[in-house]
Structure 1
Amino acid sequence: MDGSNVIVLSSLNYPFVIRLDLTNRWMYIVERNIGILKSRFDLTEKETIVNFVSSTVYCMDIDTAEQRLYWIRHDNGDMKSATFNGSDVKTILSTNSANNKYAIGVLGSNVFYADNKQLLMVAKTPGSTPTVLYNDTSRIDSIFVFNQTGM
């Protein structure tokens, strides 16, 4: 991955999120009003694995250890999860709150996400109660979750 052999992905309609599974060489793409696509890095073997029926999604992350996708529906705030092939769809959390969920990150047994001006954490187990980690004065649009060692 040195920047050579550049490929322009012009066949996508409205790609909003792209996540890479470097180990298995898969790319997961949120087509905002369509669904989650799975394809090889050159867009071969492209297929829609999750359909967004009358819903919009602005955030998605992947858990390569457990081979699951996590996303939040913009219309009702439901946090969903599915396997890498799109099966076993689960509702992790029902927020009953539309809009302003633009960020999600998975680390270990937790999902971190932004709900307007709050950063929250919830266990991957369906029905878990979220914990507020941080409050801001502006909307949180993006997060990057990582495990830091040596501190």
Structure 2
Amino acid sequence: MMLRVVSLAFLGIATMGLQGVSFAQTTVQFDPSPFSLSAVDSLDGLQVPEFIAQQRQSLAMQRDAVLRADTKLQADCWQKFAVNACLIEARRVRRQALDPLTQRELVLNEQERLWKTEQREKRLQGKQFDNRDKP
């Protein structure tokens, strides 16, 4: 199992309290195994959309946390002498934190497309069997 970790602590952020959360120790972890196609295939047809919706909601919450931290970082940059260098670093950190989330979102999109294709094929096969029975 491969685990990819992006940490915001390396930036040297002391503690940024956004709604009581310390982003100095916040990490975004990406574990591709729960998002593999085999994990979704094992679910029956009615649970797949719910699984995908839950994962999308989780991704949205994580993305919001990263963007809130980025907004705070950029606001802090305006208090420094080297504003541009600080803003460039803040953008780099934001991209690093959002990349795993984007990858997870792409995997979810692929899973959703495959599930929809499978459902469409099942519907079409059902129609073919119905048409064979009729004279």
**TM-score over 0.5 for the alignment?**
no
Which has the larger share of helix?
2
**Taking structure 2 as the reference length, what is the TM-score of the superposition?**
0.22
Q: Which has the higher contact order (CA 8 A, sep 6+)?
A: 2
Provide the TM-score with structure 1 as the length reference: 0.20
Which structure: larger Rg? 2
